[in-house]
């Protein structure tokens, strides 16, 4: 088919390129698999399949034959609710002690009242055509196994069923966390709760609650009421809400670790209590992002008295053994500017600000220890000589963890798991806490590496789009931390991630539904052609990565700017972009001989090449669409370049040097982020141009 | 373009025909309108536009200068929340008394404590580039005007803005209701609440709560606890929930009229209180649908004593002046079979069962009146001589209303507004309470017709799909009941309905989001091609209409069957089907000369013609997909027939008679519902075949 004719038809139709293209490659990559793979995520450590399947119908029952407790009863109800949702079946809400139930659950004994790090989470799940048995040492293992069972239930030609399997499973790491920063943007409790549901579904077991920051102190203190009253814009969790939330997490086998970041990242504290600060104040809630000067006064006994009383109050709210004191990113400017603090440093022989912070950390650690908790802190709190029960959370990387482990300290990895940086699921998935420097540790030292935590920093997320920034990518990190280290195949991960992403919707996570709504806001009452053009563009762009959003902003970003732009609406990983890249690679690895793939590439490129007019029409009506006008123009140019490259390949003649130069200059322009958006297919089109530029024919070898 | 080549490419791509086609026609029907129309629904009675617009940004403020009350303050907060959602702007949550606010609201005086039928709901809304003023006699008018303002806010090249207008508006009818049957399927309170939000958005003002049925008694009675304990499967609203709900409705200017259906439709009452019944019992909750024999004993004084006490209890929960006693569909079989009742009829000179029901109705009406309420009942309660304050709700039609009005009785229309029958929005929209027999009433008699109610009977809806059965079609009925009788243009209605449907999503109604989720359940972990094929098919089918679903069921439907089938998942009105029909009509009215439209039709038909293989592949894996296998085969045949018809038209030669016969036989087969699904485009393809069958060329005149 000629691209001109095709283009004509597509142009008339105003087809959304992405809608079209979403169907292209996956069809290739997933069809004709026999037998169909199980869609389990995280992958269990051992799965043996056998013949047959257990039918799941409205007569489904679950019963408990071993240790029983109210939490298990609630877990069973939640399990039945999920089973009802994912099948639509009217399964009754009854549980019993009968061994004749469809699913018989047996926990040997109770788990700890307060969930402990390293508690047994293993389980075995045996499914036969006649019934299923889930066994575990304690309720934690049961919680994990119930989620695996839900993932086994699939539709079949004869109804719903769970395939016959024997699964033996346990986590690789005992600390598998998600951190959410509720301070830079306040995140309502119901949003956090549905994210706990998502964590349970993928077997994560630590919710790290980043509760205080320059931009907000988010928990009620009855002792120091000005913390939340003056430091939160009235957006905070009451103590009763915190208790409910901790119970909600405990029901799901999730520990809640609170973080109160100090001595930096604490401007919001000083609005009500300027006497804690090293500067002279007055202070107001920070509206910008970044590292700021305000820091607690580490030389004042009043500071420690205050923290002692606050921590005494907070440890009653948070039963977990761990208490996170932050400790990151103190720039020291307030300390340098304060003569009293300078004097203190001299008199205490503290040479540097790092020494001063070490002094502060040790004092706070003692307070935390006094109140019966162990400390977690970011890299900066790791100072040789601190108590051995401390856990280092590394934003710096595996080498920090390894260094700490070599001295006998525990660590968890967050470097490589920052969800806000916009990395692909595959890139997060490739990060292993035991790689790099950690790989060279001794066996005993390796045991000190407890796992990791994904981190959702909230500069650019709010209640509307946060789910989409966490899911589904977080499921890939959850698998990394649960499954054996050998489970690393990204293609398998993506195939299962797609299924898991659909299933997570039954938990009312909004990571898929938010998108069309935000695009409709951007588009307004547009024509279907215009909306399709917006969707086509939005499907192949991603926000700029890492910290570029702040660095490239034309107006300094603040917490008071709305998050209603295209850059806020598009997913952080473009499925369409990924599919196109896979398709282009496949084409090149065929020696450019695969006519079917060539046609598919041509169809996609054609759609892009003609997308701009409808988008430009929308951009004239919507200021939010207008922000992507240049990117839309780039996309159309990109499509045209790609078609020319395919024409060149098809003609079998090498592109003339000036032609190549011309195409490359278009690509160079398209590769520049505009409106803080990256056009994802640029690199794949570049490969096509390179292929067309080689002598005579496509001679690219398999990648 | 040749259909063969196109078909080849589309087949490879596994394009979702519907995704594709959704973009085709609307683009034609809505583009190039200057100036863009206002997307107000219901259409106000008077709108005058002027130059310019009022910018809406984060500095937006609303203030009240007249009568103020807590309800208005809550309305303002709700208004601001909606404004934030639909714009994404961070508008502060403050209201004030300042006349300098962006929107200045002025209510002259208080409205009634308990909202009354016919209270003033008028308002005037003046928007200029400098500010907006909303004036009304009382808070009800303010509530209506605030919704109009929200609908005026749109995206522009420079930000959000409300266009300059002067609107004077009031409802045509004082009774504009939605009835939801929560008895056949229980509908949770949060679902009902978001539907109240939807009603407020389109200015409906009566929520009719169908609370009791053969299948369930859904409200807690403290006096007769066995009503809800034994008659509801433990699915009922507590009295506290009812109070909250009534307050929630009152906040939105919505009256709540409870219905306790009697003497028929009451099996669920008899489970706990068999002594109320005319039969000997015992009774159990009805699981099937239809009209059943059990009926209250109208001859027993115990019945009236029970009802007196129950109504005394219930009127305390429901402050509205109206109390609905049902009264419909008594088949009289239990009465005929009971010698005591036969004896009573003789001794009281009641010749027929209708006479006996009239006796019952009059007794119950007296009880209701004694407790200070006026009666609403279905057609059957209209008996000459009943008190004049009764309101007849007509499921039978305008002639019933007219007959009642001629005798001085009030009425509301529901015939024509049954949402469960699967009619199109346009068909509902065309039904007017004042048409037919009612059109011939005198002016005074016409005043007795108070309005209408849409009815959501719940045989085939549950919490998951009910929103989609109500919205967006209910907005068209809301417009019929609010806007001037002259507002009847269906094309304008559909254009605005599409915008309103998007906006209703900001209220968390799930009428759009449920669809993909239910299709994913049906598809399971399918390939993208298979899912696209399911979507393509689902987009052009509708459930069988009226009462055909029950009549054509292969297994008798019950309340215990899951609602997870394709017939439960597809919207009741196919947008794609409607668009194709419009496109085909346009082609025919062009004398078949419009090549562009011909191409579009060909593209769509081509997609359909090739959809079956991927669907058939899915049907082999999913029992829920399999139910539509025959319909999928019909769709592909339909596509092929349509392409042949277009080929014939293009060739300019009349179809041979045997060819036409062959094509017609395919159409006849495709027109037969299968799996309770109707294939919507059949009639349009039939028009194309007819055109091709005429001598030489397409000679269809404009429709």
Nearest-CA distance B288 → chain A (Å): 15
- The model carries a pTM of 0.94
User: In this structure, how many other beta carbons lie within 10 angstroms of the beta carbon of residue A355?
Assistant: 14
Residue B541: name the closest of B552, B551, B533 by CA: B533
Residues of B with CB below 8 A from A24's CB?
13-14, 528
Give SS3 for B364.
helix
The DSSP line for B391-439 is EEEESS-HHHHHHHHHTT-EEEE-TT-BGGG---HHHHHT--TTSGGGG
Work out the percent of chain A whose per-residue pLDDT is above 70: 93
Interface contact flag, B89 A159, Cβ < 8 Å: no
Q: Looking at the predicted structure, is the pLDDT value of residue B654 above 70? A: yes
**Range 546-605 of A in CB contact (< 8 A) with B:** 560-564, 596, 599-600, 603
Residues of A in contact with B6 (CB under 8 A): 1, 9
Contacts with B517 from chain A: Cβ below 8 Å: 502, 505-506
Token reading at B532: 């696209």
Q: How far does A8 lie from chain B, in Å, by closest CA?
A: 9
| pLDDT value of residue A100 | 84
Start-to-end CA span in chain B (Å)? 28
Distance CA A309, CA B346 (A): 86
B276 touches chain A (CB under 8 A): no
Give how far Cα A106 sits from Cα of A121, A163, A170, A247, A321, Å: 14, 20, 16, 23, 28
Three-class SS state of B492: helix
A26 chain-B contacts, CB cut-off 8 A: 527-528
Q: Single out the residue of B38, B40, B42 nearest to residue B121, CA to CA.
A: B42
Q: Is B28 on the interface with A (CB under 8 A)?
A: no
pLDDT digits (tens, 9 = 90+) for A112-153: 999 999 999 999 999 999 999 999 999 999 999 999 999 999
What residue ranges in A57-122 does DSSP mark as E strands? 62-64, 95-96, 103-107
Residue A329 among the catalytic residues? yes
CA atoms within 13 A on the CB side of A612: 14
Contact A683, A585 (CB under 8 A): no
- As beta bridge partners, residue B217 has B212
- By Cβ distance, the residue of B16, B90, B624 closest to A19 is B16
**Average pLDDT score over chain B:** 93
Per the CB < 8 Å rule, is A520 touching B502? yes
Q: Residue A370, SS3? A: helix
The band of A16, judged by pLDDT with boundaries at 50, 70 and 90, is very low
Q: Rounded to an integer, what distance in angstroms lies between the CA atom of residue B50 and that of residue B162?
A: 11
The pLDDT confidence band at residue A651, using thresholds 50, 70 and 90, is: confident
**Residues 620..679 of B with a Cβ closer than 8 Å to A: which?**
620-624, 626
- How large a percentage of chain A has pLDDT more than 90? 88
Q: Which of the residues B309, B329, B464, B505 is marked catalytic?
A: B329
Give DSSP secondary structure letters for B269-310: HHHH-GGGBSS--------B-S--S--B-TT-HHHHHHHHHH
Give A594's DSSP letter.
Answer: -
pLDDT of residue B650: 87
Per-residue pLDDT reduced to its tens digit, A527-558: 989 999 999 999 999 999 999 999 999 999 99
Measured between beta carbons, the chain B residues lying within 8 angstroms of A606 are none
* pLDDT above 80 (res A15): no
- Euclidean distance between CA atoms B117 and A41, whole angstroms: 57
Are B23 and A15 inside 8 Å of each other by CB?
A: yes
Q: Answer whether B623 sits within 8 Å of A513, measured CB to CB.
A: no
B89 within 8 A of A563, measured Cβ to Cβ: no
Contacts with A570 (C-beta within 8 Å, 6 or more apart), sequence order:
A515, A538, A539, A541, A542, A543, A677
**Whether B280 contacts chain A with CB within 8 A:** no
How, if at all, do strands B374-378 and B322-324 pair?
A: parallel
Model confidence at B384: pLDDT above 90: no
How many residues in chain A?
Answer: 703
| Angle at which helices A629-651 and A657-670 cross, to 10° | 150
Token pair 């593209």 is found at: B603
**Do residue B564 and residue A89 have CB atoms under 8 angstroms apart?**
yes
The catalytically annotated residue of A154, A309, A329, A464 is A329
**With an 8 Å Cβ cutoff, are B13 and A23 in contact?**
yes
Rounded to an integer, what distance in angstroms lies between the CA atom of residue A295 and that of residue A272? 14
Closest CA to B224 of B210, B241, B207, B212: B212
Mean pLDDT, rounded, for B198-226: 98
Examine the pLDDT at A598 and tell me if it is beyond 80.
yes
Question: What integer pLDDT is reported at residue B383 of this predicted model?
Answer: 81
Cross-chain Cβ contact A521/B88 below 8 Å: yes
Minimal Cβ distance to A564: which of B8, B88, B499: B88
- Phi/psi for B482 (5° steps) reads -95, -45
Cβ-contact A522, A534 below 8 angstroms: yes
Identify the band that residue B34 occupies on the pLDDT scale cut at 50, 70 and 90: low
Supply the pLDDT for residue A650: 87
Q: Where does the pLDDT of residue A34 fall: very low under 50, low under 70, confident under 90, or very high at 90 and above?
A: low
Going from the C-alpha of A35 to that of each of A31, A303, B503, B614, B625, the distances in angstroms are 11, 64, 44, 18, 19
Query: A661 CB contacts (<8 Å, ≥6 apart)?
Result: none
- Per-residue pLDDT tens over the stretch B263-309: 999 999 999 999 999 999 999 999 999 999 999 999 999 999 999 99
Give me the pLDDT at residue A140, please. Answer: 98
Closest CB from A157, A521, A525 relative to B626: A157
Residues forming a β-bridge with B64: B105
Tokens of B411: 């009425």
- Read off the pLDDT of residues A556-590 as tens digits, 9 standing for 90 and up: 999 999 999 999 999 999 999 999 999 999 999 98
Encode pLDDT of A372-391 as tens digits.
999 999 998 988 778 888 99
**CB spacing of A600 vs B58 below 8 angstroms:** no
- The pLDDT of residue B4 is above 60: no
Q: What is the pLDDT of residues A679-688, one digit of tens each?
A: 999 999 999 9
Joined tokens for residue B244: 């909250």
Averaged pLDDT, A412-426: 98
Angle between helix B3-13 and helix A3-13 axes, rounded to 10 deg: 70
Q: What sign for the dihedral angle of Cα B385, B386, B387, B390?
A: negative
Q: State the Rg of chain A over Cα.
A: 27
DSSP A77: H
Question: Cβ–Cβ of A88/B621 closer than 8 Å?
Answer: no
Per-residue pLDDT, A98: 74
Q: Which residues in chain A have Cβ-Cβ distances shorter than 8 Å to B563?
A: 88
Asked whether the CA dihedral A454, A460, A466, A469 is positive or negative, the reply is: negative
Residues 6 or more apart in contact with residue A439 via CB below 8 angstroms = none
Asked if A678 and A538 touch (Cβ cutoff 8 Å), the reply is no
* Whether residue B42 has a cis bond before it, omega within 30° of 0: yes
State yes or no: pLDDT of B544 exceeds 50: yes
pLDDT at A697: 55
Task: Report the alpha-carbon distance of residue A208 to residue A414 in Å, rounded.
Answer: 12
Q: What is the pLDDT of residue B387?
A: 81
Report the C-alpha gap between A86 and A79 in whole angstroms. Answer: 11
Cα angle value A85/A86/A91 (rounded, 5°): 55
Task: Say if residues A88 and B562 touch (Cβ distance below 8 Å).
Answer: yes
A564 and B12: CB-CB below 8 Å?
Answer: no
The beta-carbon neighbor of B23 closest among A14, A157, A564 is: A14
Average pLDDT, chain A: 93
**CB-CB neighbors (< 8 A) of B523 in chain A:** 155
- Chain B CB contacts of A16 under 8 Å are 19, 23
Cβ–Cβ under 8 Å, residues B165 and B186: no
Where on the phi/psi map is residue A451: left (φ > 0), alpha (ψ -120 to 50), or beta? left
The runs of H, that is alpha helices, within B652-681 are 657-670
In this complex, is the C-beta atom of B193 within 8 Å of any C-beta atom belonging to chain A?
Answer: no
pLDDT higher than threshold 50 for residue A8: no
Q: Which residues contact A587 (CB under 8 A, 6 or more apart)?
A: A594, A597, A598, A601, A688
Q: What's the pLDDT band for B26 if we cut at 50, 70, 90?
A: very low
CA gap B330, B332 in Å, rounded: 6
Nearest to A527 among B27, B528, B532 (CB): B27
Residue A339 pLDDT greater than 50, yes or no:
yes
Q: Considering all CA atoms of chain B, what is the largest pairwise distance in Å, rounded to the nearest integer?
A: 83
B51 in reach of chain A (CB within 8 A): no
């Amino acid at each position: 088919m000629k691209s001109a004719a095709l283009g004509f038809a597509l142009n008339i139709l105003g087809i959304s390129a992405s809608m079209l293209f979403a169907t292209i490659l996956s069809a290739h990559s997933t069809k004709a698999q026999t037998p169909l793979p199980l869609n389990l995520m995280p992958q269990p450590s051992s799965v043996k399949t056998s013949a047959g399947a257990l039918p799941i119908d409205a007569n489904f029952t679950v019963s408990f034959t071993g240790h029983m407790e109210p939490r298990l009863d609630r877990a069973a109800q939640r399990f039945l609710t999920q089973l009802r949702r994912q099948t639509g079946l009217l399964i009754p809400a009854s549980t019993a002690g009968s061994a004749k139930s469809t699913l018989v659950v047996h926990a040997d004994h109770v788990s700890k009242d307060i969930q402990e790090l390293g508690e047994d989470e293993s389980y075995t799940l045996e499914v036969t055509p006649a019934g299923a048995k889930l066994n575990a040492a304690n309720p934690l293992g049961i919680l994990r196994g119930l989620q695996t069972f839900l993932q086994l239930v699939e539709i079949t030609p004869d109804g719903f069923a769970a395939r016959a399997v024997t699964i033996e499973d346990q986590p690789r790491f005992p600390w598998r966390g998600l951190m959410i920063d509720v301070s830079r943007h306040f995140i309502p409790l119901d949003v956090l709760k549905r994210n706990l549901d998502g964590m349970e579904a993928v077997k994560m077991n630590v919710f790290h609650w980043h509760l205080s920051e320059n931009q907000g102190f988010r928990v009620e203190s009855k002792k120091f009421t000005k913390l939340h009253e003056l430091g939160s814009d009235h957006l905070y969790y009451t103590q009763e809400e915190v208790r409910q939330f901790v119970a909600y997490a405990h029901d799901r086998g999730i520990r809640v670790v609170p973080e109160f970041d100090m001595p930096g990242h604490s401007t919001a504290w000083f609005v009500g209590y300027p006497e804690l600060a090293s500067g002279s104040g007055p202070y107001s809630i920070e509206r910008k992002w970044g590292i700021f000067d305000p820091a607690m006064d580490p030389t004042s006994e009043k500071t420690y008295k205050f923290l002692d009383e606050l921590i005494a109050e907070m440890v009653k709210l948070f039963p977990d053994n761990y208490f996170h004191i932050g400790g990151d990113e103190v720039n020291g400017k307030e300390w340098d500017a304060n003569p009293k603090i300078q004097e203190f440093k001299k008199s205490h022989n503290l040479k540097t600000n790092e020494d001063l912070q070490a002094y502060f950390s040790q004092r706070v650690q003692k307070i935390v220890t006094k109140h019966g908790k162990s400390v977690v802190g970011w890299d900066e709190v790791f100072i040789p000589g601190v108590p051995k029960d401390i856990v280092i959370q590394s934003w710096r990387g595996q080498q920090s963890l390894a260094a700490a482990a070599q001295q006998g300290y525990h660590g968890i990895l967050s470097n490589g798991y920052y969800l806000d940086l916009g990395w692909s699921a595959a890139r997060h998935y490739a990060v292993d806490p035991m790689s790099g420097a950690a790989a060279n540790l001794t066996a005993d030292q390796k045991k000190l590496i407890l796992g990791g935590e994904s981190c959702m920093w909230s500069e650019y997320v709010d209640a509307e789009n946060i789910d989409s920034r966490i899911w589904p990518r977080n499921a890939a990190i959850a698998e990394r931390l649960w499954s054996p280290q050998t489970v690393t195949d990204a293609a398998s991960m993506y195939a299962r991630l797609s299924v898991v992403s659909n299933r997570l919707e039954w938990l009312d996570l909004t990571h898929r539904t938010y998108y069309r709504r935000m695009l409709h806001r951007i588009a307004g009452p547009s024509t279907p052609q215009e909306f399709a053009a917006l969707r086509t563009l939005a499907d192949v762009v991603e926000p700029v990565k890492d910290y570029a959003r702040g660095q490239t902003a034309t107006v300094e970003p603040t917490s008071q700017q709305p998050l209603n732009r295209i850059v806020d609406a598009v997913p952080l990983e473009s499925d369409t972009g990924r599919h196109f890249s896979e398709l282009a690679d496949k084409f090149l690895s065929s020696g450019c001989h695969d006519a079917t793939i060539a046609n598919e590439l041509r169809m996609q490129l054609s759609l892009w090449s003609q997308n701009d007019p409808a988008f430009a029409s929308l951009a004239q009506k919507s200021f939010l669409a207008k922000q992507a006008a240049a990117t839309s123009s780039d996309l159309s140019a990109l499509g045209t370049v790609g078609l020319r490259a395919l024409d060149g390949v098809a003609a079998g003649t090498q592109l003339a040097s000036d032609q190549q130069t011309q195409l490359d200059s278009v690509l160079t322009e398209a590769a520049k982020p505009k409106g803080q958006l990256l056009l994802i297919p640029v690199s794949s089109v570049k490969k096509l141009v390179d292929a067309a530029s080689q002598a005579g024919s496509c001679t690219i070898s398999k990648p």
